[in-house]
């Protein structure tokens, strides 16, 4: 008989309403056999007790319902972001807090490149720098003999130098949405959204997702997740060609791989029938730590990049109203086709106009092709209002809100994008729960750092760097936030029968914490030490 191990902890927070807390959990064959006191495993025969967590707190393994596997590989390029970041090895990369520091950092990086080799940087966000918006003139000062391309932190905009514009063939005669131009009518170096960025990215062989195809990158992503208590994470946009699938199957099958991954198939660039056929091929190939279950659809862009689609009155700066990655008619057709085929969709919407268009499309699809328990999930959905949450509940939708935005961009949304009225309802967790919409919250790593306790801290406190509380009414309790990083995202992924709580029959997935989230000051929630994880009964320590 397989050995039964009983882990003793200072406290176990289960999220099982039948037994909310415990001190011991019994594990056999990678699953939870029993939960309770020291004698919980006695009905099942012999067992051994493991005391290594006796001074720690166990909670359900965190589930990151919106992240990208490239988070473990972006460090192959130059970091040019505003905030300090920590790489998968634990090294701190200081943020660049003014335009001069950005230019100096890029010049330093050029010095380490071979002649003619492109300089690729990532993580930049102009909304934090109160100077001229980064443009080709700035980047021409970095280099004129090679392409220079700086990906914004939201991955929806790319700023490049003149050499790069020349490579893409972008000139004053170019009449393409997303190729921004200056007062002189010439392209100014900013490329907005996928259609404008991809021609140059192909020429420069910039494929951020391809970075995640290597075993090193997959392990880096898994280590990043383990360090913050995540046991299951999405890669929420993946082409999933055969070579990638083979690599994922090989790496995740290893006993010592510390993460369960759900890659979402790209549902943007192919018609629905091709996407559903590919999903039908992939689903039977799932293994324990690699699940093919979901498809990603994308409506609009980024709020702080001014490419999200907003309802009236739009951006307070007067910026044009964003860019559709899938125009409404195309989005509606794709949603109908995928829903009719039984596909589980996760739909990117940032602005409230994008949410409205997606809701209209889903409502039409559900009426035409009734299907229970579809669990389609609106991702980000940052500007949704009360009426939209009520529609989500009526349509059986889930929502995964980008709560980290309250801290990382809350002041900018208040002052520079949507104004105080709408900023106070951004990532409206309270409204979602009150309307009865199943709720998850996320980091969108690498857009913001993966860290579920930080995301939960944002949802509970809604504090911005300036010290304001952004929308006090939208705060949720610590218990609600803990559910929104465990059982909530598990539900949106159709895995709440396996993960998300500590109860008999589920996977033995735990996050090992230094303190109880329910006992610390809510403002200290993000600072609770994460000591490691248990995934399917196997222990991984930081």
Last residue of a domain, one of 209, 229, 258: 209
Identify the burial level of 327 via C-beta atoms within 10 angstroms of its C-beta, where 0-12 means exposed, 13-18 middle and 19 or more buried: exposed
Asked whether residue 68 is domain-assigned, the answer is no
Final residue in a domain of this structure, among 164, 193, 209: 209
Average the pLDDT over 410-439 and give the result.
97
Give the Cα separation of 487 and 51 in Å (integer): 26
| 369 close to 426: Cβ distance less than 8 angstroms | no
Q: 245 pLDDT exceeds 70?
A: yes
Q: How many residues does the chain have?
A: 542
Q: What is the pLDDT of residue 1?
A: 56
Q: Is residue 520 part of a domain?
A: no
Kindly report the CATH number assigned to the domain that includes residue 495.
Answer: 3.20.20.140
Q: Which of 490, 481, 489 is nearest to 523 (CA)?
A: 481
Tell me, yes or no, whether 423 and 469 share the same domain.
yes
- The answer to whether position 221 is within a domain reads yes
Q: What is the mean pLDDT of residues 105-124?
A: 93
> What's the pLDDT at 217?
87
Q: What pLDDT does 12 receive? A: 98
Rg value, the chain, Cα: 23
Residue 273's SS3 state is helix
Q: Specify whether 22 is located in the same domain as 156.
A: no
Q: Mutual orientation of helices 328-340 and 272-282 as an angle, nearest 10°? A: 40
Query: pLDDT tens digits, residue range 348-403?
Result: 999 999 999 999 999 999 999 999 999 999 999 999 999 999 999 999 999 999 99
pLDDT of 428 higher than 90: yes
How much is the pLDDT for 216? 86
Name the strand (E) or helix (H) holding 105. Answer: helix 99-110
CA separation for the pair 25, 8 (Å, rounded): 7
Least confidently predicted of 32-46, 200-214, 280-294, 382-396: 200-214
Does one domain contain both 288 and 367?
Answer: yes
Please report the pLDDT score of residue 314 as a whole number.
Answer: 97
What are the DSSP E strand ranges found in 20-118? Answer: 21-28, 31-36, 48-50, 57-60, 62-64, 78-79, 85-86, 92-93
Do 442 and 487 lie in one domain? The reply is: yes
Q: Per-residue pLDDT for 72 more than 80?
A: no
Residue 42 inside a domain? The answer is: yes
DSSP conformational letter for 76: G
199 within domain boundaries: yes
Do 198 and 135 share a structural domain?
Answer: yes
As a whole-number percent, the residues of the chain with pLDDT over 90 amount to 88
Same domain? 221 vs 136: no
Across 514-529, average pLDDT: 98
pLDDT band at 76 (very low <50, low <70, confident <90, very high): confident
- CA dist 411 and 397 (Å) reads 29
Model confidence pLDDT, tens digit, residues 129-139: 877 789 999 99
The pLDDT tens digits for 251-294 are 999 999 999 999 999 999 999 999 999 999 999 999 999 999 99
**Rounded distance between C-alpha atoms, residue 59 and residue 515, angstroms:** 10
Contact 450, 86 (CB under 8 A): no
Q: What is the percent of the chain where pLDDT is above 70? A: 99
Domain count, the chain: 3
pTM comes to: 0.90
How far is 315 from 313, CA to CA, in rounded Å? 7
| 511: enclosing H helix or E strand | strand 510-513
Please check whether residue 34 lies inside any domain of the structure: yes
Residue pLDDT, tens place only, 444-500 = 999 999 999 999 999 999 999 999 999 999 999 999 999 999 999 999 999 999 999
One domain for residues 203 and 320: no
* Distance of alpha carbon 531 from alpha carbon 289, whole angstroms: 21
Tens digits of residue pLDDT in 159-178: 999 999 999 999 999 998 99
Half-sphere exposure of 535 (CA within 13 A, CB side): 28
As a whole number of angstroms, the distance between CA 378 and CA 381 comes to 6
For 207, phi then psi, to 5°, come to -135, 90
Q: Are residues 239 and 204 in the same domain?
A: no
Residue 454 located in a structural domain: yes
Q: Which domain holds residue 377?
A: 212-501
Quick check: 208 pLDDT over 80? no
Starting at the edge strand found earlier in the chain, the sheet holding 62-64 runs 62-64, 230-238, 260-266, 294-298, 344-349, 377-380, 398-401, 439-441
Angle at 217 between CA 487 and CA 297, to 5 degrees: 55
3-state SS string for 290-336: ECCCEEEEECCCCCCCCCCCCCCCCCCCCCCCCCCCCCHHHHHHHHH
**β-bridge pairing 179-181 and 187-192:** antiparallel
CATH of the domain at 97: 3.10.310.70
Which residues pair with residue 92 across a beta bridge?
A: 86
pLDDT higher than threshold 90 for residue 226: yes
Q: Are residues 47 and 86 in the same domain?
A: no
Judged by phi (left if over 0) then psi (alpha if -120 to 50, else beta), residue 116 lies in: left
66/349 Cα distance (integer angstroms): 13
Residue 21, phi then psi, degrees to nearest 5: -135, 160
Position 70 scores a pLDDT of 85
Within this chain, do residues 126 and 268 fall inside the same structural domain, yes or no? no
541 in a structural domain: no
**170 and 291 belong to one structural domain:** no
In this structure, the answer to whether residues 99 and 79 fall within a common structural domain is yes
Quick one: tokens of 339? 């829903």
């Amino acid at each position: 008989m397989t050995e039964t191990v009983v882990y003793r902890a200072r406290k176990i927070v289960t999220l099982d309403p039948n037994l909310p807390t415990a001190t011991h959990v019994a594990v056999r064959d990678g699953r939870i056999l029993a939960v309770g006191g020291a004698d919980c495993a006695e009905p099942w025969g012999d067992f051994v007790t493991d005391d290594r967590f006796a001074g720690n707190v166990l909670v359900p393994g965190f589930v990151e319902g919106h992240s990208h596997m490239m988070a473990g590989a972006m460090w192959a390029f130059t970091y040019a972001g505003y905030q300090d970041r920590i790489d998968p090895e634990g090294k701190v990369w200081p943020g660049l807090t003014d335009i001069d520091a950005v230019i100096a950092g890029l010049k330093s990086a050029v010095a380490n490149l071979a002649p003619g080799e492109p300089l690729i940087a990532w993580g930049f966000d102009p909304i934090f720098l109160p100077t001229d918006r980064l443009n080709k003139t700035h980047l021409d000062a970095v280099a004129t003999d090679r392409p220079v391309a700086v990906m914004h932190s939201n991955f929806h905009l790319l700023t490049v130098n003149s050499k790069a514009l020349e490579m893409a063939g972008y000139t004053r005669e170019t009449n393409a949405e997303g190729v921004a131009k200056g007062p002189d009518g010439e392209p100014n170096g900013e490329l907005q959204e996928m259609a404008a960025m991809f021609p140059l990215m192909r020429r420069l062989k910039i494929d951020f997702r391809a970075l995640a195809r290597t075993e090193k990158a997959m392990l880096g992503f898994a280590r990043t997740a383990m360090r913050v208590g995540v046991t299951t994470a999405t890669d929420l946009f993946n082409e999933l060609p055969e070579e990638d699938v083979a690599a994922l199957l090989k790496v995740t099958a290893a006993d010592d791989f510390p993460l369960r991954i759900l890659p979402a198939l790209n549902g943007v660039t192919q018609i629905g029938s091709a996407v559903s056929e590919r999903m039908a091929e992939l689903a039977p190939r799932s293994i324990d730590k690699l699940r093919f279950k979901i498809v990603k659809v994308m409506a609009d862009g980024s709020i702080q990049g001014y490419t999200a689609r907003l309802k009236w009155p739009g951006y307070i700066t007067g910026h044009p109203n964003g860019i559709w990655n899938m125009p409404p008619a195309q989005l509606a057709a794709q949603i109908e086709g995928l829903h009719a085929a039984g596909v589980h969709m996760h739909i990117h919407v940032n602005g409230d106009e994008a949410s409205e268009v997606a809701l209209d499309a889903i409502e039409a699809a559900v009426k035409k092709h009734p299907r229970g328990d579809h669990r389609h999930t609106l991702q980000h959905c940052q500007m949704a209002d009360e009426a939209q949450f009520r529609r989500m509940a009526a349509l059986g939708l889930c929502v995964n809100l980008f709560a980290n935005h309250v801290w990382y961009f809350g002041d900018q949304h208040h002052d520079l994008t949507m104004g105080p009225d709408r900023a106070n309802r951004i990532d409206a967790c309270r409204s979602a729960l009150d309307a009865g919409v199943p709720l998850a919250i996320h980091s969108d790593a690498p857009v913001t750092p993966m860290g579920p306790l930080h995301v939960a801290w944002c949802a509970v406190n809604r504090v911005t760097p300036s010290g304001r509380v952004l929308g006090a009414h939208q705060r949720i309790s610590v218990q609600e936030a803990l559910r929104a990083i465990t059982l909530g995202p598990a539900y949106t992924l159709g895995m709440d029968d396996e993960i998300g709580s500590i109860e008999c029959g589920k996977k033995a997935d735990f996050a090992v914490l230094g303190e109880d989230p329910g006992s610390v000051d809510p403002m200290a929630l993000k600072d609770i030490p994460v000591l490691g994880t248990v995934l399917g009964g196997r222990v991984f320590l930081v």
